[in-house]
């Protein structure tokens, strides 16, 4: 039984799936990944990264890195997010990931409803991470990579629980900001950080 979704049979062999992780958090970069899977070496278990456990994601990420035709992981920094806005920074990270592939895709499939600027045939697919295996693979790589960045922040800033909240605006994270102050990795244009900075007279 084929592991490909029926809808994927219409696509050429060298399809790049693209997805991101980290649009919503208050801290850290947005990470994007682009993956061209090997149609002759199907990876079973690929799914939307949000539907997988951490162990499943980590296992699949290694499979993707070892068995895909090629992949590239890129990011847009906190400074770029604050300067461009999160949508444009996300598209920039996606563009970097696609342009960083060692093979040129015949078609680019991007999760969501917006496309980065590309000189390649491309299609945006809403909920693509649950429909297209290559996008699922990209979502897994982006999520695993960003979680690793958050683990690094937790080591660097042990007063913050980045290993738990992953930079999202949880009550725990907001309380930590109030208690310990702002870090250079916090997105200054995101609320409630922006409001807190304004109230403090820092912007």
Q: Which residues pair with 64 in a beta bridge?
A: none
**pTM of the complete model:** 0.92
For helices 54-67 and 133-156, what crossing angle results, to 10°? 120
Ordered structural domains, the chain, with CATH:
8-199 (3.30.420.10)
Question: What pLDDT score does 194 carry?
Answer: 87
Average pLDDT of adjacent 10-residue blocks, the chain of 203 residues: 48 90 97 96 94 97 98 98 98 98 97 95 95 97 98 97 96 95 94 83 64
Question: What pLDDT score does 9 carry?
Answer: 61
H/E run at residue 20? strand 15-21
Beta-carbon contacts of residue 200 (< 8 Å; ≥ 6 apart): none
Question: What pLDDT score does 12 carry?
Answer: 72
Question: What pLDDT score does 6 carry?
Answer: 40
User: How many angstroms separate the CA atoms of 94 and 108, rounded?
Assistant: 11
């Amino acid at each position: 039984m084929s592991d490909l979704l029926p809808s994927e049979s219409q696509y050429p062999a060298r399809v790049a799936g693209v997805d991101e992780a980290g649009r919503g958090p208050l801290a850290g970069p947005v990470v994007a990944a682009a993956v061209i899977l090997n149609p002759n070496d199907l990876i079973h278990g690929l799914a939307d990264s949000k539907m997988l456990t951490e162990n499943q994601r980590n296992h699949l990420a290694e499979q993707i890195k070892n068995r895909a035709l090629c992949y590239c992981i890129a990011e847009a920094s906190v400074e770029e997010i604050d300067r461009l806005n999160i949508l444009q920074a996300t598209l920039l990270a996606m563009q970097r990931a696609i342009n960083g592939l060692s093979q040129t895709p015949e078609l680019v499939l991007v999760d969501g409803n917006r496309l980065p600027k590309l000189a390649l045939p491309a299609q945006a697919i809403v909920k693509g991470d649950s429909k297209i295996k290559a996008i699922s693979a990209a979502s897994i790589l982006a999520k695993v990579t960003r979680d690793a960045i958050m683990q690094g922040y937790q080591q660097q800033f042990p007063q913050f629980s980045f290993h738990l909240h992953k930079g999202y605006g949880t009550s725990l994270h907001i309380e930590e900001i109030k208690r310990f102050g702002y870090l250079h990795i916090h997105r200054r244009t995101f609320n409630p950080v922006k409001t807190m900075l304004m109230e403090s007279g820092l912007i």
